[in-house]
Structure 1
Amino acid sequence: MRDASILLRLVHEAMLAMNVNVAEIYQQCGITLDHIEDKKARLKHRANTKFWQVAEAVTGDHSIGLHVAEHVPLYRGQVLEYLFLSSQTFGDGLNRALNYQRLLSDVAQSYLDVNGEQASLVFDTALGDEVDHHFIECIIFGVIRFFKSITQDQFSPSMIQLIFDEPSNKAEYERVFQCSVEFNRPKNVIVFPSAILEFQSQHAEPDLIDLHQEVAQAHVEKIEKQDLVYQIRQVLSEHLDKKEVSLELVAQSLGLSPRSLRSQLSALDTSFNQVLSEYRTFLAKRLLERTQEPVEEICYLLGFSEVSAFYRAFKRWTGMTPIEYRKTILDSECV
């Protein structure tokens, strides 16, 4: 389960506006500014959970997610916004955007439920009540603010339902969300009048809808590639030093046939050998940079049977030998 870095970047900007000591939070949870500024990054959700736990401890605010939400900048300029704007109605845009929700997070499988005059946007979290309530509160408030901007402030929730236990400051939640809030519910839900689904977009561009969907789908395919590569890397990390690495072994570990794995990688414009090579490059650099392990030991940890083969491969990857690369790193640290 991973979340797009933009979610953390928006929270970062909100905390700066609140004068929260973000440096202390990042130091304690292992997040860096590189994680926040990398627009293509997707962070493991457990890192997000750790972030909120530390944020609560540092600020002493048990409702830090709720209060940060009030300061989170409006989500703008992403392909999901373009899908809404180019659609004929708000409802059309919402249904299209739900097809690409993975662009923001893998945690919630959201869907729209319309029943007469009432509509519900349901956040069906794959992790159940393991999802941190601060994260959910921020997401829901951010979604409401985004919907208001898309509908010229016409969108207004009539109720918020949350899976968490009712807090002592329930009134604070109703102040922030500007509607009634119910707790201990089966799912996290934004309830709103269904009439708003017919709100006409002033920026509707039917000719651009297909283009925006193509862009969104391309982004999703990149995420799928990252997911599969990540799973392969997990298997490689367990078997590299045992010299048992092969496409057949990895496929078996992932519950796939070799043909299926090869086909999936090909569809994502990569191959097993490319993934293996990229992972070995990453691991070799990391070991050379962060450890004093002899090059010969690193060679065997990466699954090479001969040191000469490792030298040739590393030179092909970086243009330097392992010794030269390590010396370059040491020299840069001394400057």
Structure 2
Amino acid sequence: MRISPLNLKILAYVLEVEGFNSEAALQRCGIESADDLQEEGAWVPLELFDRLMAAVIEETGDAAFGLVAGKSIALMRYGVLTPLVLATPCLRQMLDDIRRFAVLALERSEVELAESGATARLVVQPAVQNGLSRHFRLEQVATSSIQMLRFAGASHADIHHVTFPHTPSPEHEQRYAATFGQRLSFGQKECAITFNASLLDTKLPTHDPVAYVAAKTRADSLLAAMKAGSDMANTVRAWLLSAFPKQPTVAETAEHLGLSERSFRRHLSLLDTTHAELSQECQRLTAQRLLAEGKLPLKQIADALGFSSVHSFHRAFRRWSGLTPSDWRESRGGKPTR
């Protein structure tokens, strides 16, 4: 399994924020500095992440540093999930976004929601289990999960039970109790946090509709870009997005891909799409992102997307969504653009 180097960069920053030397831990793993870890760089082996977590334990001298890392403010600096979490309308949406966009940094989500009547559970399945770093990742993800519940307004009474698969109980059991509460049990089949399901749909006071839509459309764009190359359609999307405001012709795109125009059209036909449809999809996604961000007037957005006029942009956007650009943005809690 491989993971995004973003995970290592975040962990290095956690060390710095918590008062430790991140370079010493990184160098134990053959990484000179955090500057070598690019957020969107090539993914690295999961074993490297395991080694870094083990190096963090060695550097801090704290076998339970995962409990510290899981609630460090350093987690809020990098990645696309932070702005989503801060602006989300409710806990349910937060968890759904984490599940959907986790693949931007990992092969799968490490937290899954399960519901049963008036109770719900967060099941924690860390990417690294019982490696060199022992329970580090489990502690980190479980702590972050309990922090999410508290962000959603959970009281001690709302947390019904927390289970861990540790056998025997960890030596630092009291620190677990300080983090998760007294309703703990070890030696269970899974790590799970059972809580009051009514928290899921309680509106969060920090919800910002405009910021949320902007963060989500950015995450959607990154997700689409990440999948580029998995098939011809995604490869074309990435090319078209990178070309804005220019709108490449079919011939230009075919040449970029090293194909004849006839062969290129045949490939797209097999995927049940066309160059024009992919071009319009890219325009729509970018238009929604720019409208949600609210930084540019309509004229500049139209220019950035390659439209000849604001009028043609209005017409196209109404065809895509049934709304004018201004109405679409207002419907998501933003102010009308001019």
TM-score normalised by structure 2 residue count: 0.57
The Cα offsets for residues 198-243 of structure 1, whole Å up to 9 and x where unpaired, read as 21133545677665443222222333348x6xxxxxxxxxxxxxxx
Aligned residue identity for 1:12: A
1:114 maps to 2:104:
no
1:96 aligns with 2:97: yes
Residues 1:75 and 2:66 aligned together: no
- Mark the CA change 1:153 to 1:189 in structure 2 (over 3 Å): closer, same or farther: closer
| Residue 24, structure 1, aligned to residue 10, structure 2 | no
Would the aligned equivalents of 2:129 and 2:137 in 1 still touch at CA under 8 Å?
A: no
1:109-258 correspondence to structure 2 within 5 Å: 109-125=110-126, 129-130=130-131, 132-149=134-151, 151=152, 157-165=159-167, 166-204=169-207, 212-225=215-228
Contact 2:153/2:199 (<8 A) preserved: no
Q: Which amino acid aligns with 1:63?
A: A
- Kindly indicate whether the alpha-carbon contact (under 8 Å) linking 1:111 and 1:122 is maintained by their aligned counterparts in 2: yes
State the 1:134 CA deviation.
0.5
Give the 3-state SS of the residue equivalent to 2:204 in structure 1. Answer: coil
Q: Distance in 1 between matches of 2:90 and 2:173?
A: 34
Assess if the C-alpha contact under 8 Å between 1:170 and 1:181 holds in 2: no
Deviation at residue 153 of structure 1 after TM alignment: 6.5
Residues 163 and 184 in structure 1, CA contact (< 8 A), matched pair in contact too: yes
1:157 Cα offset (Å): 3.8
Please, which runs of 5 or more residues in structure 2 have no aligned partner? 241-252, 259-338
Give the secondary-structure state (helix, strand or coil) at the position aligned to 2:218: helix
Q: Note the alpha carbon deviations across 1:37-63, whole angstroms, 9 max, x for none.
A: 633244432211011222333444322
Counterpart CA distance in 2 for 1:81 and 1:21 is 24
* Alpha-carbon spacing, 1:109–1:168, altered in 2? closer, same or farther (3 Å): closer
Question: Shift in Å at residue 99 of structure 1?
Answer: 1.6
Measured after TM superposition, the shift of residue 108 of structure 1 is: 4.0
Counterpart-to-counterpart distance in 2, 1:262 and 1:55: 42
In the TM superposition, 1:250-329 aligns within 5 A as 265-266=235-236, 269=239
Return the alpha-carbon distance in structure 1 between the equivalents of residues 104 and 180 of structure 2.
Answer: 25
> CA 1:153/1:8 → structure 2, altered by over 3 Å: closer, same or farther?
farther
Alpha-carbon deviation of 1:98?
1.9
Displacement of 1:120 in angstroms is 0.8
In the superposition, relative to structure 1, how do residues 175 and 192 fare at CA in structure 2: closer, same or farther (>3 Å)? same
- Tell me the secondary structure at the aligned position of residue 184 of structure 2: strand
1:63 matched to 2:56: no
Q: TM-score, normalised by structure 1?
A: 0.57
Q: In structure 2, what is the equivalent of residue 54 of structure 1?
A: 55
- The percentage of counterpart residues that share the same residue type is 16
Between structures 1 and 2, the one with greater helix share: 1
In 2, the alpha carbon distance for the partners of 1:108 and 1:33 equals 27
- Which letter maps to 1:102? V
Aligned to 2:261: none
- Please give the alpha-carbon distance, in whole angstroms, between the structure 2 residues aligned to 1:17 and 1:127: 23
SS of 1:99 mapped into structure 2: helix
Change (3 A) 1:107 1:97: closer
Counterpart CA distance in 1 for 2:138 and 2:191 is 8
Q: Partners in 2 of 1:274 and 1:128 — Cα distance?
A: 43
Deviation at 1:100, TM superposition (A): 1.6
Deviation of the 1:172 alpha carbon: 2.1
Q: Using the TM superposition, give the Cα deviation of residue 170 of structure 1 relative to its aligned residue in structure 2, in angstroms.
A: 1.7
Contact 2:123 2:190 in 1 (8 A): yes
What is the distance in 2 between the residues matched to 1:163 and 1:72?
27
Could you tell me which amino acid in structure 2 is paired with residue 167 of structure 1?
P
SS of the equivalent of 1:159 reads strand
Q: Are 2:3 and 2:105, in contact at CA under 8 Å, matched by a contact in 1?
A: yes
Tell me, yes or no, if the aligned pair for 2:111 and 2:124 is still in contact at 8 Å: yes
8 A Cα contact 1:68 1:138, kept in partner: yes
Change (3 A) 1:128 1:19: closer
Change (3 A) 1:83 1:24: closer
Q: Is the 8 A contact 1:86 1:206 kept in 2?
A: yes
Instruction: Label 1:89 to 1:14 Cα distance change in 2 as closer, same or farther (>3 A).
Output: closer
- Contact 1:159-1:191 at 8 Å conserved across structures: yes
How far apart are residue 194 of structure 1 and its match? 1.0
Q: Give, in whole Å, the separation in 2 of the partners of 1:269 and 1:139.
A: 36
Q: CA 1:84–1:196 in 2, change beyond 3 Å: closer, same or farther?
A: same
